[in-house]
Structure 1
Amino acid sequence: MKLLPPFFLILFVVLFFNFANAQTAGGKISGSVLDEVKKPLDGATVILFTAKDSVVTSTQLVKQDGSFAFQNLKSNTYFIKATFMGYKNYRSGLVEVGQQKAVNLPAFVLSPAGKTLNEVSVTAQKSFVQQKVDRTVVNVGALISNTGANALEVLAKSPGVQVDADGNITFKGKSGVMVMIDDKPTYLSAANLATYLRSLPSSSLDQIELMDNPPAKYDAAGNAGVINIKTKKNSVKGFNAVASANIAQGFYGRTSESLNFNYRVDKVNLFANLSYDYQKTFRRLEIDRNYFDANGVQTSSLADISYFRPTNHNTNVKVGMDYYMSPKTTWGVVFTGNWSPEHDSSPVFSMLYGQDGQLDSTINTLNTSKSKFSSKGVNLNYTHKYDSTGRVFSFDLDYIRDISNGEQEFVNNTYLPDGTLTNSQTITDNLPSTINIYSAKADYTHPLRGKAKFEAGVKSSYVNTDNAANYFNLVDGVSTIDYNNTNRFLYKENINAAYINFNKTLGRFDIQTGLRLENTNGTGHQLGNAQKPDSSFVNHYTNLFPTAYLSYKLDTAGHNVLVASYGRRIGRPNYGSLNPFTFFVDKFTYFSGNPFLKPQFTDNYKLAYNYKSLFTLAVSYNLTTDVQNETIHKSGDVFISTTGNIGQQKTLDFSANTNLQPTKWWTVNLYAEVYNNTYEGEFYSGYLHQSQYTFGANGSNQFTLSKTWSAEISGFYNTGGTYGQFVSIPTGMLNAAIQKKILNNKGSIRFNMRDIFHSFSPSGTITNIEGATATYHNFVDTQVATLTFTYSFGKLTNTPSKRDTGGADSEQGRAH
């Protein structure tokens, strides 16, 4: 850690002298690329030609604000060509440049291509991965093996992202990532988030933005950064729709259907995303535990085998309207809904062995459960563009209400080795939960002279949660309240935030700095019962979160770019993690909350080299204090899982990403990383110190076999690593897919085989348990064959996209 500031200082000095030398010669041409309503076309390509012989001198992608600049040009006559998919190409007039002359051109305004699907054959395809200064963009539709998959499965293929058997997400070796949908948080617990992402079909997804160091405009929540899942958006004049249906076979069958449509007439734009998903999956979990006395002598052992067969019926609805009151002013409203009923029968077979290794007893647990989860939300948004320079004001108002209710019955029967029943226990529970979230935010962007931009914003959110746990002991048909576990937990939280952000271009340098202030106020109240008293806690804290990016072009064309960045983030406890309830898995495994959890803070440092957006090398270092992580401790023979603060985590990460096209018909994307996780801190069993290097890689090969046939092979591999107490073993996956376009390219049939060799089997060991050791092994239902039909109808013409971002930027991702 002590070496990092001098390292960045030396880097800055070297870049400064290179910059100073670069300013001594050469002309300059600058300008911007806009659409027909003067909105920046982020990602458009500009190509500089010499007029005499039409030779390409340089090529660039425009920035987010649509601007570009060709620098250090020789005295000559040039012209520029601007291109963007779905728009007509633009060719400038002749431009004379002298040795020290700077030419600022009027904005290039591109017009839509204006052709319908049956008039044009679209052959261009986005790269699977695109690199930007502050994020990595994954284009979901670029991989045909994503067909028929759900959002969680698509995430597992993204660079640096890992998803375990329970659906928990880590990013670049760190947990605590903030998952957002269309710039709004999901407001769900880890379990409910996994269920929700499994219910989102890939056909409704457009892009995934991976931000390990997000700018100040985003909430500071999420110590591992932000993953923003962007759904498909259409604002095409007239009617436009995409319908998709698939049938899949894994351990059990499953189906999903989706319809995304848009209708725009005059000043009104109506849109909707509708999907239904039926899933029945399977997982077998094996846990082996050994128990020891104070002298280290093994006293007993326990072998658990659990079977999970959840059945889900998931319905997702997103309906909205945009009203273009004027060319500069837009009002919008978006309604969202999710309904996910589930039922499961999860038997657990436990075998308890004595000191001599002989079977002592068996415990059969029948765990039957049914639950209902629903989430309803409304967003009102407003945008006003003052002029064509990019001066914009916007605000969002959000309200979200999540309701869940679960019922479980545990029947524990204990038998001697000869089959004699010695004990029977029945426990039932009812677990209702309600979360109300209110959020309001406003943002303002103001361009400044000299290619600079100032941004500022404010936000306030209020969350009110009400969780109850009602447990009963059932004996001879008579139900009595279990006061040891019955409780009710109320939690209220208010977060107030403000930020400023500044961008500036200085020659080959691009600078972005930001500062965010967040004030947090939380109160928790655990209601008592007939046998237990009330308890409560209050938290108030205010923090500053700076961010900084410095990029430098090593050549005049901008093909070689260095980027250094720094950011600080916070990981607030999930609402459910603060809930002190106890939840039963079986007789030997409990989950419980921790009302004394403290927030964790992370400092992120990163240095990256980027070549033509085709090749990226990066090294990053992260230091997290008061790390929140799942912890396992023992009480008698029972393992209790809770979230605790376990000291600090240091992560050193080296990564590389490349997009290659060896031939016209073959495209390759490869990502690889090596990272080291080190955990240190006080723990139940004394002092925890774990450190391990991990290698991870994923890649895809896309093949264009003809105008209507294409294929793909993709996969990932991970050597395993350490995550707090948990040390995982290697795992991986190989996928293949083939696609045929039909009906004049309006339709397609795709066949996808996921996890061909059924090699994805998350397993490992649990360390630092006082008086015990444990290993776990998962058999997961990931080997799935999917057949999908997709049909598109309507126009391809691009028109201004609607704004469907919201103000609830982090709270929902913490709901438990």
Structure 2
Amino acid sequence: MSSKIIAFLSAWLCFALNFAAAQTTPGKIAGRVNEPTGEPAIAATVKLLKQQGSTAAASMQTDINGRFVFNDVKPGDFVVEVTAVGYATYRSALIRITTSSGVANLPVITLQKSDVKLDEVNITAERDVIEQKVDRTVVNIGSSISSTGASALEVLEKMPGVLIDQSGNITFKGKTGIMVMIDDKPTYLSGDNLANYLRSIPASQLAQIELMPNPPARYDAAGNAGIINIKTKKSNKVGFNGTINASAGKAAYPFTNESLSLNYRKGKFNFFANAAFNLQNYYRRLDLNRRYFDNAGAQTGSYTEEAYFRSKSKNGNVKLGLDYDLSAKTTLGIVLSGNLTIGRTPNPVTSILRNAAGNVDSTIIADNNTWNNNKNGGINFNVLHRFDSLGRSLSIDLNYLGYNNRSRQIFQNTSFDKFGVPSAGQHIIDTLPTRINIYTAKVDYSHPLKNKAIFSAGVKTSYVNTDNAARYYNISNSGAQTVDIGRTNQFLYKEAIQAAYLNFNKEWSRLSFQTGLRMEYTDARGHQLAKTKGADSSFVNKYLSLFPTVYLQYKLDTTGKHAINASFGRRIDRPGYQDLNPFVVVLDKYSAFVGNPFLRPQYSNNYALNYTYKKLLTVGLLYAITSNFQVEHDYQDGDIFYASSINLGKTISKGINANLTWSPAKWWNFSLYAQLYRNSYEGQLKNSYLTSARTFFYSTTTSQFTFGKGWSGELTAFYQTRNVWGQFASLERKQVNIGLQKKILNNKGAIKLSARDIFRSNFSAGEITNLGNMKATYRNDNANRNVVIGFSYNFGSKPATQRTRETGAETEAGRAKN
């Protein structure tokens, strides 16, 4: 297999090098523009100025790769000028074109942040809240006022097209199955664990969020709905500089967030460090109602549950990095990261069982407690070599990530009969340690060709080793502990993925084309080490998958004001590591979660068609079909209500979305995202066949106001109608946030006041369908309304260049539930 991959890449590489040697057309000036992070500067304005009088001979905008080319340039002396919002104007040295000059290829132009202080009312140099690019939507949140004191999860909830349920499941543009990255690195978490990790990251450390519904071939194919990349703030200044943030707020209970970012650059060295600490103090109420019926439809009884969760934890995050310029063309880098979360969640539960007449049969009072101690750490070593000034480069990334997480639970259930007399008790203790070790390595090569074309290729290997244990003990009235052999278990899982990709870009005057092919080979092995005789089991799953991608962009006029984009991509979602774990995890006396080792990966084919007008408006159509769709399946078995994961036959998502970014006045920036989608599900459940579909509407809006004299404000809101996801039919959700800011200390500091969910309207509720002779409803209230006051202060000067690393460990991030 590996020899075929190498031969395939070699053939493409030879083709690319031969193409690069072709003769060029005389009278051209070409180049590429990068942002300080090294990423392409898209839509920067490039002017070709005549040396005498600086008259513009031509003007254009950079393409999606940051490239520009002026054709048919007449002999003479010229200067290239580059401008972009928020960056200093760049002017090249003198360029002389003669009748035999051919192509003048300029060195890569790296823009620098502007140091010019703007008038307080002039907001033209502020970056748009939402930037629509060819392959992604970029949301700039660094200056968001309403995010003061918020967490990364709370910020993510406000992103256009993103919905998050109370279990931490993320939906993007109507589809589930998203890969979440932070600074191009994986989180390695999903569900509640991903939500808790994102809560530990303060919003004050975030700069941008990139939303990619159809990523190109260089990215891992994982993520049915695409990729969400959360970018943290990074200093690009010479010398010693940094940022401090502190905030305190109150929802149901008080909470705090503190963070510090430092950067020191001198000569060939660049050192950076980020640290954050926060005290989480969350409250959640869960109400469940289950009604039971006979075959004739008559109600035979009911079960109601009222549960409270008071989650209090301390979280610390640290990230240290060092870049060293080995030469003008080669840079070495190392990044160390760590996260520690220690917390406790008391969970009192009152459950009532009633008979057919509605009279109380029995009551269960539960005093449950959960302690968590999660230690996560990682190291990344990277090398970037630039062969020339045209952009030919080779990058290498080596990664290790380790997760050592321990959960301890105590369940104390006391049952009372209909007269309130204690009748039975249950006392259970469990420990659920999880260890995950992840190793990845990847190599990427990029080769710009003549005539605005780029060839790229890469390989990646990853290895995952997980060890999950469940130790349950029954506690007698005397306090003696007895091992519960039926529940005690151990599950070992190993997975190796080998991948290779090819990608080709080509630009013409109006047409842009990109295509890629990614190949991934997966070898997955699981082994359950059960305590009971005969329950030991294992499985092996090997498969090879191909993932093509195609992108087309056509400018309807020479200025590029009107453009049409079309894209297609195939993607995969492998089961989460814990979803494969066959353990039965007790939630309460009558509820449990059980893993499914027979889960298969799901595959999706995604199609998109978009129309763009300037940077103001984007309207798009989306169609996606997913096979082997992974979804939560709820069912009753005896007295226990189980939740598990299964593969449905298929699901179809289709709809229309629109994004508007507009400045109605010089003091007002406005953005609006809206979508109208229809999701349909079809497949076999445990005891029934599911067929469900619903059309739903979702919209989010942001308004930013500049009042003058350092004062500014912000108003954000979202609204979602009823929706369905598998068996779950949810009610509408909505939320409104406001914020106010005052710049102080010569604009280096700011005081911010914000209020989230001011009408306390954001809670999830709905019905669970296809339960046979049972109907179930739920209401989950996270008490989102809060008020926060925060302070931030920046120090430092003079921009410098700092790299942003994509480490290659992105895919495995979203699949670990620790």
Q: What's the TM-score once normalised by structure 2's chain length?
A: 0.91
When residues 37 and 551 of structure 1 are mapped into structure 2, their CA distance, relative to the original with a 3 A threshold, is closer
Q: Which residue of 1 aligns with 2:297?
A: 296
Counterpart Cα distance in 2 of 1:159 and 1:466: 37
Residue by residue over 1:372-409, the C-alpha shift from the partner in whole angstroms, topping out at 9 and shown as x without a partner, is: 01101000000000001100000100011101111111
When residues 92 and 432 of structure 1 are mapped into structure 2, their CA distance, relative to the original with a 3 A threshold, is closer
Q: Describe the SS at the equivalent of 2:814.
A: helix
Q: Is the 8 A contact 2:181 2:228 kept in 1?
A: yes
Alignment of 1:508-657 (within 5 A): 508-657=510-659
Counterpart Cα distance in 1 of 2:49 and 2:499: 50
Counterpart Cα distance in 2 of 1:118 and 1:511: 39
Q: Which amino acid aligns with 1:591?
A: F
Counterpart Cα distance in 1 of 2:61 and 2:805: 25
Match of 1:682 among 677, 681, 684: 684
Q: Is the 8 A contact 1:128 1:142 kept in 2?
A: no
Q: Describe the SS at the equivalent of 1:574.
A: coil
Residue by residue over 1:792-815, the C-alpha shift from the partner in whole angstroms, topping out at 9 and shown as x without a partner, is: 0011x3222223321212112211
Deviates more, 1:74-83 or 1:441-450: 74-83
Counterpart Cα distance in 1 of 2:656 and 2:349: 41
Q: Is the 8 A contact 1:86 1:798 kept in 2?
A: no
Alignment of 1:277-676 (within 5 A): 277-476=278-477, 477-676=479-678
Q: Describe the SS at the equivalent of 1:694.
A: strand
When residues 112 and 491 of structure 1 are mapped into structure 2, their CA distance, relative to the original with a 3 A threshold, is closer
Counterpart Cα distance in 2 of 1:41 and 1:594: 43
Q: Describe the SS at the equivalent of 1:577.
A: coil
Q: Is the 8 A contact 1:30 1:67 kept in 2?
A: no
Q: Which residue of 1 aligns with 2:224?
A: 223
Q: Which residue of 2 aligns with 1:15?
A: none
When residues 106 and 433 of structure 1 are mapped into structure 2, their CA distance, relative to the original with a 3 A threshold, is closer
Counterpart Cα distance in 1 of 2:269 and 2:94: 40
When residues 58 and 643 of structure 1 are mapped into structure 2, their CA distance, relative to the original with a 3 A threshold, is farther
How far off is 1:655 after superposition? 0.3
How far off is 1:333 after superposition? 0.4
Q: Which residue of 2 aligns with 1:11?
A: none
Q: Describe the SS at the equivalent of 2:175.
A: coil
Residue by residue over 1:154-204, the C-alpha shift from the partner in whole angstroms, topping out at 9 and shown as x without a partner, is: 101111001112222111122111101111111124222111100101111
How far off is 1:414 after superposition? 1.0
When residues 113 and 586 of structure 1 are mapped into structure 2, their CA distance, relative to the original with a 3 A threshold, is closer
Deviates more, 1:327-336 or 1:803-812: 803-812
Residue by residue over 1:98-123, the C-alpha shift from the partner in whole angstroms, topping out at 9 and shown as x without a partner, is: xxx99867468467478598999995
Counterpart Cα distance in 2 of 1:408 and 1:108: 57
Q: Is the 8 A contact 2:36 2:236 kept in 1?
A: no
When residues 115 and 699 of structure 1 are mapped into structure 2, their CA distance, relative to the original with a 3 A threshold, is closer
Counterpart Cα distance in 1 of 2:151 and 2:816: 22
Counterpart Cα distance in 1 of 2:787 and 2:181: 29
Q: Which amino acid aligns with 1:417?
A: K
How far off is 1:347 after superposition? 0.9
Counterpart Cα distance in 1 of 2:37 and 2:448: 15
Q: Which residue of 1 aligns with 2:8?
A: none
Counterpart Cα distance in 2 of 1:92 and 1:201: 40
Residue by residue over 1:240-282, the C-alpha shift from the partner in whole angstroms, topping out at 9 and shown as x without a partner, is: 1000000011000000100011001111110011000101110
Q: Which amino acid aligns with 2:591?
A: T
Q: Describe the SS at the equivalent of 1:193.
A: helix
Counterpart Cα distance in 1 of 2:417 and 2:55: 86
Counterpart Cα distance in 1 of 2:570 and 2:475: 51
Q: Is the 8 A contact 2:146 2:738 kept in 1?
A: yes
Q: Describe the SS at the equivalent of 1:237.
A: strand
Q: Which residue of 2 aligns with 1:8?
A: none
Q: Describe the SS at the equivalent of 1:281.
A: strand
Counterpart Cα distance in 1 of 2:385 and 2:377: 27
When residues 181 and 517 of structure 1 are mapped into structure 2, their CA distance, relative to the original with a 3 A threshold, is same
Q: Is the 8 A contact 2:86 2:127 kept in 1?
A: no
Counterpart Cα distance in 2 of 1:337 and 1:117: 37
Q: Is the 8 A contact 2:49 2:81 kept in 1?
A: no
Q: Which residue of 2 aligns with 1:13?
A: none
Counterpart Cα distance in 2 of 1:38 and 1:805: 12
Alignment of 1:19-168 (within 5 A): 31-34=30-33, 42-43=41-42, 45-46=44-45, 61-69=61-69, 81-85=81-85, 87-90=87-90, 106=106, 109=109, 112=112, 115=115, 124-168=125-169
How far off is 1:53 after superposition? 11
Q: Which residue of 1 aligns with 2:267?
A: 266
How far off is 1:757 after superposition? 0.3
Pairs aligned (count): 787
Alignment of 1:699-738 (within 5 A): 699-738=701-740
Counterpart Cα distance in 2 of 1:435 and 1:599: 20
Q: Which residue of 1 aligns with 2:699?
A: 697
Residue by residue over 1:289-312, the C-alpha shift from the partner in whole angstroms, topping out at 9 and shown as x without a partner, is: 111122322111111111011111
When residues 784 and 29 of structure 1 are mapped into structure 2, their CA distance, relative to the original with a 3 A threshold, is farther
Q: Describe the SS at the equivalent of 1:379.
A: strand
Give identity over the alignment, percent: 45
Residue by residue over 1:618-659, the C-alpha shift from the partner in whole angstroms, topping out at 9 and shown as x without a partner, is: 001000000001110111232100011111110002100010
When residues 346 and 54 of structure 1 are mapped into structure 2, their CA distance, relative to the original with a 3 A threshold, is same
Q: Describe the SS at the equivalent of 2:455.
A: strand
Counterpart Cα distance in 2 of 1:763 and 1:38: 43
How far off is 1:232 after superposition? 1.5
Q: Describe the SS at the equivalent of 1:814.
A: coil
Q: Which residue of 2 aligns with 1:275?
A: 276
Q: Is the 8 A contact 2:122 2:666 kept in 1?
A: no
Counterpart Cα distance in 1 of 2:739 and 2:58: 37
When residues 639 and 32 of structure 1 are mapped into structure 2, their CA distance, relative to the original with a 3 A threshold, is same
Q: What's the TM-score once normalised by structure 1's chain length?
A: 0.92
Residue 174 of structure 2 is aligned to residue 173 of structure 1? yes
Q: Describe the SS at the equivalent of 2:174.
A: coil
Q: Which residue of 2 aligns with 1:743?
A: 745
How far off is 1:72 after superposition? 11
Q: Is the 8 A contact 2:435 2:466 kept in 1?
A: yes
Q: Is the 8 A contact 2:31 2:106 kept in 1?
A: yes
Q: Is the 8 A contact 2:35 2:41 kept in 1?
A: no
Q: Is the 8 A contact 1:741 1:748 kept in 2?
A: yes
Structure 1: any 5+ residue segments left out of the alignment?
Answer: 1-26
How far off is 1:788 after superposition? 0.5
Q: Is the 8 A contact 2:37 2:801 kept in 1?
A: no
Q: Is the 8 A contact 2:42 2:65 kept in 1?
A: no
When residues 103 and 193 of structure 1 are mapped into structure 2, their CA distance, relative to the original with a 3 A threshold, is same
How far off is 1:49 after superposition? 8.6
Q: Is the 8 A contact 1:316 1:339 kept in 2?
A: yes
Residue by residue over 1:535-574, the C-alpha shift from the partner in whole angstroms, topping out at 9 and shown as x without a partner, is: 0011000100001101000010111111000000000000
Q: Which residue of 1 aligns with 2:15?
A: none
When residues 236 and 433 of structure 1 are mapped into structure 2, their CA distance, relative to the original with a 3 A threshold, is same
Q: Describe the SS at the equivalent of 2:275.
A: strand
Counterpart Cα distance in 1 of 2:505 and 2:513: 6
Counterpart Cα distance in 2 of 1:458 and 1:466: 27
Counterpart Cα distance in 2 of 1:567 and 1:345: 45
Q: Is the 8 A contact 1:50 1:76 kept in 2?
A: no
Match of 2:767 among 765, 770, 773: 765
How far off is 1:492 after superposition? 0.5
Deviates more, 1:64-73 or 1:405-414: 64-73
Q: Which amino acid aligns with 1:703?
A: F
